[in-house]
Copies of this chain bind each other. A is one copy, B any other.
Amino acid sequence: MIIKKIEGLIAAPFTPFDENGDLNLEQIPAYYQSLKSNQVKGGFICGSTGEGVSLTFQEKVAVVQAWSTLTKTDPDFKLIVLLGGTNIRECIELAKISEEEGVDAISFTSPFYFKPANVGQLAACCVEIAAAAPNTAFYYYHIPVLTGGNYPMIDLLKAVDGVIPNFAGIKYTHEDFMDFLSCMNFAGRKYDMLWGRDENMLSSLILGAKGAVGSTYNYAAPLYHDLISAFNAGDFERANALQQKSIDMITLLGKYGGISVGKTYMKLIGLDCGKFRLPIKNMSQEQFVAFQSDVAELEFASFSSK
């Protein structure tokens, strides 16, 4: 299976909910149009940002279908589905459905209740799941801060190379640049290494990274397009300033409660995705007032998605 590497920004969409906290699939076409208008090249759905772990299995299927309906005729938009991590059986079921739906890629993260005893055991999980969708690219999703599965990815590549024909690469959401570069250079640069830390993108570009998956590309894609352009033009001062702007924006997530703040940013660009489900905490109304003030100072509107 020949897998074309992804270039550009892949957003990790939020899952839209209505006022009752139920799926609001009607929001998805507008969401897709927003990403397209802002030159985003794909969507990594049902991920951390998409609250995949908080969706029932049927809801995940519905989200996959809502997106694939839009994207299966769009060769310039890559749809990647995070299947899950802990529950291998459900990952396999969703892999099959995803392949039937014609998605571009599936993804799987390290089991986070029972942790694999070693990287070989993790590879065994990948083998089973990838085989369930043999015609679909498979990306491992490396996010040890959430899964606790902190295996060197170079060891995973060694374990799956030549074993999993549809293994395409890794969404790498971790700061180990030594491991990341080793993966980039492994086997003649065979694998597609997608950078997953928006706040450190610049440090991945210098290593040769071409694709990135992240949550802030949902609402601030122009900022990162500028950053990449500045880097490509050799204007490192400007790239630095833009990365700092990204950091200042992301710092507000920490200040106002974490991942759920992203949905508040979405409201500011006109896409109301509702609230995060439990166990995540949402911003109070008072916090929202203070947040708006911080956002204004940041001049968010000057670089946000339109």
A residues within 8 Å of B by Cβ? 48, 53-57, 59, 85-90, 93, 111-117, 121-122, 124-125, 128, 146-148, 175-178, 181-182, 184-185, 197, 199-200, 202-208, 231, 234, 236, 239-240, 243-244, 247, 250, 257-259, 277-281
Q: Are B199 and A279 in contact (CB under 8 A)?
A: no
Q: Are A128 and B278 in contact (CB under 8 A)?
A: yes
A277 to B: closest C-beta gap in Å: 6
Cβ contacts under 8 Å, A116 to chain B? 279
Cβ contacts under 8 Å, A85 to chain B? 113
Q: Are A185 and B244 in contact (CB under 8 A)?
A: yes
Copy total for this chain: 4
> How far, in angstroms, from A48 to B113 measured CA to CA in the complex?
9
> How far, in angstroms, from A204 to B270 measured CA to CA in the complex?
36
Cβ contacts under 8 Å, A147 to chain B? 113
Cβ contacts under 8 Å, A88 to chain B? 54, 277-279
Q: List 17 A-B residue pairs with CB atoms under 8 Å apart, sorted by A's residue number.
A: A48-B113, A53-B87, A53-B113, A54-B89, A54-B114, A56-B57, A56-B89, A113-B147, A148-B148, A175-B175, A175-B177, A178-B250, A182-B244, A202-B206, A202-B207, A203-B206, A203-B207
Q: Given contacts A175-B176, A178-B197, could you give 8 more A-B pairs where the C-beta distance is less than 8 Å? A: A54-B87, A56-B89, A114-B259, A117-B279, A178-B247, A185-B240, A202-B206, A234-B234
Are A114 and B53 also in contact (CB < 8 A) when A207-B240, A278-B128, A279-B122 are? yes
A254 to B: closest C-beta gap in Å: 10
